[in-house]
């Protein structure tokens, strides 16, 4: 079972306007189901902020979905004028789960905001508005739509293994990026043309990967399936360990 951290948003819902909901885009759920994994949506919960194992004990992998900008206070920065729509309660929840999941070596995949969150969880920082440096809008050409561009991946990296080949054409919608890398993380993917970091990973563990593009929007992508495979291996290892203990 793979847990998907839910976004908190204000939506129009039937006759209700500005209704607050905890939700996960169906594309993430569908990608996990195509990979024959069970998906469990995880809404922000202060009890799990205090004790992340309350939830992590019940899942075999963690998917950190895209969504709103991360509160710059999470990494000790002042907000940029283009940093908007933050939800600090979501940040607290996801940072707590991510830190503990990485400590436990639970498989973790971060997508877009989720990649950035992995970096912040390990003490890294974010570049709050990439166009200030790159002068380009290729990563978010229009609001409410995806741009496409190519990504180069480090040979032999987890990112390349998850994608299955180098140079994928990816769907992108983000305006923030990696600043200072967090503890132990390495960059393993870069956009072709402006060298913005597109993938990060934590070597030596079971599966800890972040990609800033949106593989859930590509039915041919194998990135989320790679997380599902790692979660199944985690579940099998846990069953084996439990059986060994009960047989003593």
Q: Which two tokens stand for residue 127?
A: 């570049």
Tell me: the pLDDT tens digits for 39-95?
999 999 999 999 999 999 999 999 999 999 999 999 999 999 888 888 999 999 999
The model's confidence at residue 101, banded by pLDDT at 50, 70 and 90, is: very high
**Which residues are identified as catalytic?**
112, 214, 216
Closest Cα partner for 106 from 237, 223, 207, 225? 207
* Structure confidence at residue 241 (pLDDT): 67
* Structure confidence at residue 17 (pLDDT): 83
Burial class (CB in 10 A: 0-12, 13-18, 19+), 169: exposed
pTM value is 0.93
* Structure confidence at residue 14 (pLDDT): 82
The model's confidence at residue 16, banded by pLDDT at 50, 70 and 90, is: confident
The model's confidence at residue 29, banded by pLDDT at 50, 70 and 90, is: very high
Q: In what helix (H) or strand (E) does residue 168 lie, and over which residues does it extend?
A: none
Query: In the chain, where does DSSP find H-type helix?
Result: 26-34, 46-50, 53-56, 88-103, 113-121, 131-134, 158-163, 223-246
Topology of the domain comprising 2-246 = Rossmann fold (3.40.50)
């Amino acid at each position: 079972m793979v847990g998907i951290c839910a976004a908190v948003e204000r939506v129009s819902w039937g006759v209700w306007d500005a209704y607050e909901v905890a939700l996960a885009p169906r594309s993430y759920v569908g990608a996990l189901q195509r990979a024959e994994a069970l998906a469990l949506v995880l809404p922000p919960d202060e009890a799990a902020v205090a004790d992340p194992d309350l939830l992590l004990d019940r899942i075999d992998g963690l998917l950190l979905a895209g969504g709103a900008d991360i509160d710059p206070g999470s990494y000790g920065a002042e907000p940029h004028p283009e940093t908007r729509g933050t939800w600090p309660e979501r940040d607290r929840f996801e940072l707590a789960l991510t830190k503990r999941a990485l400590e436990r070596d639970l498989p973790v995949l971060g997508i877009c905001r989720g990649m950035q969150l992995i970096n912040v969880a390990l003490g890294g920082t974010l570049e709050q508005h990439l166009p200030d440096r790159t002068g380009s809008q290729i990563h978010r050409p229009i609001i409410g739509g995806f741009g496409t561009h190519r990504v180069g991946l480090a040979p032999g990296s987890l990112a390349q293994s998850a994608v299955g080949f180098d140079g994928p054409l990816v769907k992108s919608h983000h305006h923030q990026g990696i600043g200072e890398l967090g503890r132990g993380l390495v960059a393993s993917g870069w956009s072709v043309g402006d060298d913005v970091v597109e993938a990060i990973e934590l070597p030596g563990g079971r599966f800890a990967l972040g990609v800033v593009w949106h593989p859930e929007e590509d039915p041919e992508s194998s990135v989320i399936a790679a997380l599902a495979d790692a979660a199944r291996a985690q579940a099998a290892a846990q069953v084996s360990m439990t059986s060994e203990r009960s047989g003593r």
